[in-house]
Amino acid sequence: MSGYSTSLLERTAREYADKAVMAERTGNYEDAVKYYKAAAQILRRILSINPDTGLREAYVEFIRNYEERAAFLEKSLEKIGVAGRNVESGSQSIERDLVKEPPKITFEDIVDLDDVKKAIKKAIIYPVKRPDLYIDKIGWDKGVLLFGPPGNGKTMLAAAVANEIKAAFIPIDASDIMSKWLGDAEKNVRRIFDTARRIAEGGRPVIIVIDEVDSLMGVFSSEVGGEVRVRNQFLKEMDGLYSKGSREMIFVIGTTNKPWSLDIGFIRRFQKRIYVPSPNYETRLALLKHYCRNLELDPGVNLEEIAKITEGYSASDIVDIVREAYSKVVDELFEKGSIGGKPRPIQMKDLIEAVSKRKPSISQDMLRSYEEWNKRFGTL
Ligand SMILES: Nc1ncnc2c1ncn2[C@@H]1O[C@H](COP(=O)(O)OP(=O)(O)OP(=O)(O)O)[C@@H](O)[C@H]1O
Ligand SMILES: [Mg+2]
């Protein structure tokens, strides 16, 4: 084989490598894998033709790089379930990876929180149902922040809205932004919003949910050098949603139980900031009734009393208390060695025992912090 043809091969290898990089950059990972493999294969061929080439070491290094890259991309593709398929474009597969089925939760599943539900409906559901009342007028809010102590329904609310308006549901978290695919975090932020825009242009509303949005702030402060760019990209994308003439129904719902760790630029982009409080006596009672509705209770059970002694407990604590009381009677049934039969009714003491096993998850101090933050920034 002449020197001429190996240099031709070398040029071809380089062209494939360039194509691979381009394909990867535009998110077309299937093609990128193909091209990286082709580039590596050609370099191997050159080595077999011309084993004593002075460039041997460089070639070996290139081959290793290309093959590693191809393997890495292939693995990421496998994760999103499109391995080996070339029919989808990069953007389609990104879309498939980003858009999820929201948990099957409706507003009816969420006990009480009537003011909160109303505020969310006003912010998101009205504009979606009657865009004509908003478009070309004064617009509508695109960013909704749900804040409050842990375990009181913020995540549930976000899912319920998405279901109610049959939105494309894009849940993201900080680690997604950092490492969903390859490339930098800034690009991932752009990708998320590009995908949202593409779906919304087709007429379907989109809800981007950033659960624990405060952890994003953590990302911004720990990512060396890139933090400002990622943060700015995020703020820019949020601004884009508000820009004049933007008609797409895209909403960003952020949830946080540490609102005070958000900075002001961030807070400002979430124009609706809704406090999701921990349950008061009435709500605790309603939660107890709701979660006991399918359980058999002893006539001596006084749920009012349980609601009274659970001041400071979160909604999710209440669910845990009921669950624990129920699993106690179920365990007893099994311990008796019977396979059939049904558990005895839950008694007051079972519930009280479950309460006493745990501490209220929200302290008075914490509560005050939320209320202060709500006074300063809340919009409900
Ligand atoms: N209002 C509610 N009605 C019925 N169940 C509730 C309610 N609030 C919370 N729960 C129960 O508590 C669990 C936790 O709620 P959720 O995940 O929505 O809390 P959160 O406010 O997002 O908490 P965190 O701040 O920790 O993310 C739910 O899965 C549900 O079982
Ligand atoms: Mg949550």
- Domain spans of the chain, in order of start: 3-88, 107-278, 281-361
Average pLDDT of the chain, as a whole number: 86
Q: Is the CB of 153 under 6 A from ligand 1?
A: yes
C-alpha 313 to ligand 2 mean position (Å): 16
Nearest residue (CA) to ligand 1, atom 27: 150
Over 90: is that where the pLDDT of 252 sits?
yes
| 269, 235 Cβ separation under 8 angstroms | yes
> Residue 255: beta bridge partners?
146
Q: Is the CB of 255 under 6 A from ligand 1?
A: yes
From the CB of residue 264, how many other CB atoms can be counted at a distance below 10 Å? Answer: 8
Q: Which residue has the tokens 């059970």?
A: 301
pLDDT at 1: 47
- Residues 375 and 380: their CA atoms lie apart, in Å, by 10
Give percent of the chain above pLDDT 70.
87
Inter-helix orientation angle 3-25/56-79, to 10°:
30
The per-residue pLDDT for range 51-109, each reduced to its tens digit, is 888 888 889 989 998 999 899 888 877 766 543 344 456 677 777 778 888 889 999 99
**Of 216, 214, 207, residue with least CA distance to 175:** 216
The per-residue pLDDT for range 151-194, each reduced to its tens digit, is 999 999 999 999 998 899 999 876 666 554 445 677 778 888 99
* Position 363, amino acid: S
Q: Is the CB of 151 under 6 A from ligand 1?
A: yes
Provide, for the chain, the percentages of residues in helix, strand and coil under a 3-state DSSP scheme, each rounded to the nearest 5. 60, 10, 30
pLDDT at 351: 97
Q: Best of 215, 274, 316 to mutate for ligand 1, by most ligand atoms within 8 A of CB?
A: 316
201-215, 225-239, 314-328: range with lowest mean pLDDT: 225-239
Angle at CA 178, nearest 5°, toward 189 and 374? 70
Give the ligand with the smallest distance to the CA of 153. 1
* Position 168, amino acid: A
Please say whether the dihedral angle defined by the alpha carbons of residues 330, 335, 341 and 344, taken in this order, is positive or negative.
negative
Phi and psi based region of residue 136 (left: phi greater than 0; alpha: psi -120 to 50; beta: remaining): left
Same-fold call for 107-278 versus 281-361? no
Give the residue with greater pLDDT, 65 vs 217. Answer: 65
**Of 291, 298, 294, residue with least CA distance to 349:** 298
Give the residue with greater pLDDT, 184 vs 19. Answer: 19
Q: Which residue has the tokens 């009734």?
A: 289
The per-residue pLDDT for range 24-57, each reduced to its tens digit, is 877 788 889 999 999 999 899 889 888 888 888 8
**Of 298, 288, 291, residue with least CA distance to 345:** 298
Please say whether the dihedral angle defined by the alpha carbons of residues 121, 124, 130 and 136, taken in this order, is positive or negative.
positive
What would be the CATH architecture of the domain defined by 3-88? Up-down Bundle (1.20)
pLDDT at 176: 66
Ion ligand 2 residues within 5 Å by Cβ: 154-155
- CATH number listed for the domain at residues 281-361: 1.10.8.60
Residue 233: pLDDT band with limits 50, 70, 90: confident
Query: In whole angstroms, how large is the CA radius of gyration of the chain?
Result: 28
Q: Where are the beta strands (DSSP E) in the chain?
A: 143-147, 168-172, 206-210, 250-256, 272-275
C-alpha 58 to ligand 2 mean position (Å): 51
- CATH number listed for the domain at residues 107-278: 3.40.50.300
State pTM to two decimals.
0.75
The per-residue pLDDT for range 110-135, each reduced to its tens digit, is 999 999 999 999 999 888 888 888 77
Tokens of 323: 């669950």
Please say whether the dihedral angle defined by the alpha carbons of residues 311, 377, 276 and 108, taken in this order, is positive or negative.
positive
- Residues 290 and 299: their CA atoms lie apart, in Å, by 17
Q: b/e per residue, 181-217, with b = 16+ CB within 10 A? A: bbeebbbbbebbbbbbbbbbeeeebbbbbbbbbbbbb
pLDDT at 80: 60
> Which residues make Cβ contacts (< 8 Å) with residue 20, sequence separation at least 6?
31, 32, 33, 34, 35, 36, 39, 66, 69, 70
- Residues 169 and 162: their CA atoms lie apart, in Å, by 6
Rounded to whole angstroms, what are the CA distances from 74 to 69, 77, 78, 81? 8, 5, 6, 10
Over 90: is that where the pLDDT of 306 sits?
yes
Average pLDDT of span 284-306 = 97
Please say whether the dihedral angle defined by the alpha carbons of residues 52, 53, 55 and 60, taken in this order, is positive or negative.
negative
Residue 258: phi and psi, rounded to 5, are -130, 65
Q: Is the CB of 316 under 6 A from ligand 1?
A: yes
Return the DSSP state at 125.
I
pLDDT at 28: 82
Q: Is the CB of 93 under 6 A from ligand 1?
A: no
